Structure 1
Amino acid sequence: MPSRFISITLVLVVALAVGGTPASPQSGKAAMLLPGSINDQSWNAQGHAGMLKLKDMGMEIAYSENVAPADHIEAMKDYARRGFSPVIGHSGRFLSAAQRVGPEFEKTIFIVGSGSGAFGKNVNSIDFDNTQFGYLLGVLAARMSKTGKVGSVNSLEGLPNVVAQVGGFRQGFKSVRPDGEVKVIYIQGMEDAAAAKEAAFTLIGGGADVITGKLNAGHAGIVQAAKEKGVYATGRSFGHTGISAETVLTNIIEKWADMYAAAVMDMRAGQMNGQYVLYGLNTPNSTGAELRQSAERVYNAAVPAAVVNELEALKKKFASGELKLKVTRDDARGGV
């Protein structure tokens, strides 16, 4: 394995009963590649939580942090050679590598978290419905903004799930305030908190008083900027609420542990054979994500009851299929 990434393996020891009872047929070996650190209080931490869920299900788990793009293919091959299945790439950025490696290891199941499509009979993608949750944040931002101007800081411009969330956010905002302004800045790195903070300052300087986005470790920069300038923000983890409970309106808490567990159950049932699975408020097994400001609250106490009721009504419309969205790259366009 290349020295540029570190593999950390956690092995679940299965105690044998007297007489040598074999391991459960439901056990197995799952590996994950992560683009950043599991301590980022955001995207990579959620992936790690998913691996711990698989460990609780009786699987041996292994994961590699900070896997650089140049190492994607070799890292996947290494885990496949060692008998891990599924091999999970916890980012849509791993899809290309999975498509390259999949045909070489036909008996290995590859799952791409936040991927945008499937390939062949063993490369699968799963994600939550970014469009739905982006739309809800857009409505919330529109109701909480005093200036009628809001902003969004993101990276990976054009990536399908980024387009989905940013585009959904703009549509949600415009559904409430069609004459309002949504400004979007794309930065180079998902992990760059300093760049995210500067981008947020730029948006705030232009009058935005609610800032959102879709970053990994970089998201903390958005929240910190909002805290320092006294404007509202949305986060991606309770850790972001911990930075500024007064200004974080809510977080999109992605249920990757539940989604990966569901995907492994589907794999064991023979259903992960080149599938693209999207979890949302309208799916039966998992909503894929939820809005929560903390373990105790869904929204910041500053959000009026009427706005809470409006958002809950929109969730029910998504769940029933009454509200369906379609976003385009233009909906997610950048520009200040």
Structure 2
Amino acid sequence: MKRILFTLLSFILVLSLVGCGGNESSTSTETETETTEEKVVIGFVTDTGGLGDQAFNDAVHSGLLKATEEFNYELKIIESKEIGDYADNMRTLLNEGASVIVVAGAPFADSVSQVAAEYPDKYFLSFDSEVDGMDNVSSTLSKEQEAAYVLGAFAGLVSETGIAGYVAGVESPLQERAINGFKAGFLSTRPDGKVIDIYAGTYNDVGKGKEIASTLYDQGADYVATFAGACNLGVFQAATEAGEGKYALGAALGQFDKNPEKIIASQVKTIDLAVYNALAEFSKGEFSSGIVVRGIKEGGVDILYNPDAELVSSIASEEVLNKVEEI
């Protein structure tokens, strides 16, 4: 734990009132001290999906808004167009007065390492990108494979065709962990089954997500899981067009409102809570550098079911749900 100091701007106004009368004199001095606190600026650099991706950028933003309101921070945001913009976008926010930079996504790792070295007196909260050995960087990683495993096990128990699809974003160790976790979970409950996974190669192409999911449904998948940012929205559209008996499995914070009749369950990360907690700590003058890894036990990942209990029960019996709970 590293202790940090915030700068307070204090203004002192001294008013001296002097009164004279007869042979007596008296001097009255009144000192009024007014202290105003300069807001700490938090800078958020989104990945290429931008705000409104209905995925991790929005989840981070949710945590930032809560922290900003509660701890009186000032929030500045730059939405990245290209991965190559990440470092310059961070520099821009730092030069505009940001004390803390918040980013989320594996592709940020190199940029965070570079910029953090250039600004050793600034702080960096990096989610899903691994940066170690720097005093001014805190990396929070998730055990995606744990939630993916449970989601896969659920899919294996409810699948009628024995085939599941998986739409991933951009190739990375994070995505590999999630894919492998889902496959292992599916095969644990459906040993004779098959999982077809396809990378979208992007996190912000709704049309690409729809195209891939349509292909997977055509190949026999009745459940398609997606872990690909804004591409997820295309998967949900494809589930509707695929018709009866075809469903989607979401991500982020659940995304059930994006297709209430087709998204049965989701693998979720509580990244909004992680962002809020890190900034709550910072508001106390504390910063934890290094790497923190959060799984199901730590409350970092989990699966959620569609809030429509009737829909879920029409697909998964109580026995199935109990089996999933025991995993």
| 3-state SS in 2 of match to 1:66 | coil
| Residues 62, 28 of structure 1: alpha-carbon distance in 2 compared, 3 angstrom cutoff | same
| 1:194-233 Cα distance to aligned partner (Å, 9 max, x none) | 1111111111111111100211111011111112113111
Q: What's the offset of the Cα at 1:297?
A: 5.4
Tell me which residue corresponds to 2:312.
Answer: 300
Tell me which residue corresponds to 2:29.
Answer: none
Q: State how far apart, in whole Å, the 1-side matches of 2:105 and 2:318 are.
A: 36
TM-score by length of 1: 0.79
Task: Say which of 291, 314, 319 aligns to 2:303.
Answer: 291
Q: Is the 8 A contact 1:293 1:299 kept in 2?
A: no
Task: Say which of 292, 295, 298 aligns to 1:280.
Answer: 295
Q: State how far apart, in whole Å, the 2-side matches of 1:255 and 1:288 are.
A: 5
| 1:155-212 Cα distance to aligned partner (Å, 9 max, x none) | 211x122112111101111111122101111112111111111111111111111100
The letter of the residue matching 1:83 is: G
| 3-state SS in 2 of match to 1:20 | strand
Q: Is the 8 A contact 1:116 1:160 kept in 2?
A: no
Tell me which residue corresponds to 1:259.
Answer: 274
Consecutive unaligned residues of structure 1, counting only runs of 5 or more, are: 1-17, 315-336
Q: Counterparts of 1:1-336 in structure 2 under 5 Å? A: 20-23=34-37, 28-35=40-47, 36-56=49-69, 57-157=71-171, 159-230=172-243, 231-236=246-251, 240-267=255-282, 268=284, 270-273=286-289, 275-283=290-298, 287-294=299-306, 300-301=312-313, 302-314=315-327
Q: Is the 8 A contact 2:167 2:213 kept in 1?
A: yes
| Residues 38, 298 of structure 1: alpha-carbon distance in 2 compared, 3 angstrom cutoff | farther
Q: What's the offset of the Cα at 1:266?
A: 4.3
| 3-state SS in 2 of match to 1:112 | strand
Q: What's the offset of the Cα at 1:294?
A: 4.6
| Residues 125, 44 of structure 1: alpha-carbon distance in 2 compared, 3 angstrom cutoff | same
Q: State how far apart, in whole Å, the 1-side matches of 2:133 and 2:96 are.
A: 22
| 1:25-63 Cα distance to aligned partner (Å, 9 max, x none) | xx6221110022321222221121121022122211111
Q: State how far apart, in whole Å, the 1-side matches of 2:281 and 2:163 are.
A: 44
Q: Is the 8 A contact 1:235 1:250 kept in 2?
A: yes
| Residues 47, 67 of structure 1: alpha-carbon distance in 2 compared, 3 angstrom cutoff | farther
Larger strand fraction of residues: 2
The letter of the residue matching 1:106 is: P
| 1:92-132 Cα distance to aligned partner (Å, 9 max, x none) | 21111011111111111112121134242222221332111
Tell me which residue corresponds to 1:9.
Answer: none
Q: State how far apart, in whole Å, the 2-side matches of 1:239 and 1:290 are.
A: 10
Q: State how far apart, in whole Å, the 1-side matches of 2:212 and 2:250 are.
A: 16
| 3-state SS in 2 of match to 1:207 | coil
Q: Is the 8 A contact 1:117 1:124 kept in 2?
A: yes
TM-score by length of 2: 0.81
Identity across matched positions, percent: 25
Q: Is the 8 A contact 2:53 2:229 kept in 1?
A: yes
| 3-state SS in 1 of match to 2:99 | coil
Q: State how far apart, in whole Å, the 2-side matches of 1:280 and 1:20 are.
A: 46
Q: State how far apart, in whole Å, the 1-side matches of 2:311 and 2:323 are.
A: 13
**How many residue pairs were aligned?**
290
CA RMSD of aligned residues (A): 2.3
Consecutive unaligned residues of structure 2, counting only runs of 5 or more, are: 1-31
Q: State how far apart, in whole Å, the 2-side matches of 1:76 and 1:202 are.
A: 38
The letter of the residue matching 2:212 is: A
Q: Is the 8 A contact 2:101 2:123 kept in 1?
A: yes
Q: State how far apart, in whole Å, the 1-side matches of 2:103 and 2:255 are.
A: 24
Q: Choose 298-307 or 123-132, whichever is displaced more.
A: 298-307
The letter of the residue matching 2:188 is: S
Q: What's the offset of the Cα at 1:140?
A: 0.9
Q: Is the 8 A contact 1:33 1:64 kept in 2?
A: yes
Q: Is the 8 A contact 1:33 1:67 kept in 2?
A: no
| 3-state SS in 2 of match to 1:300 | helix
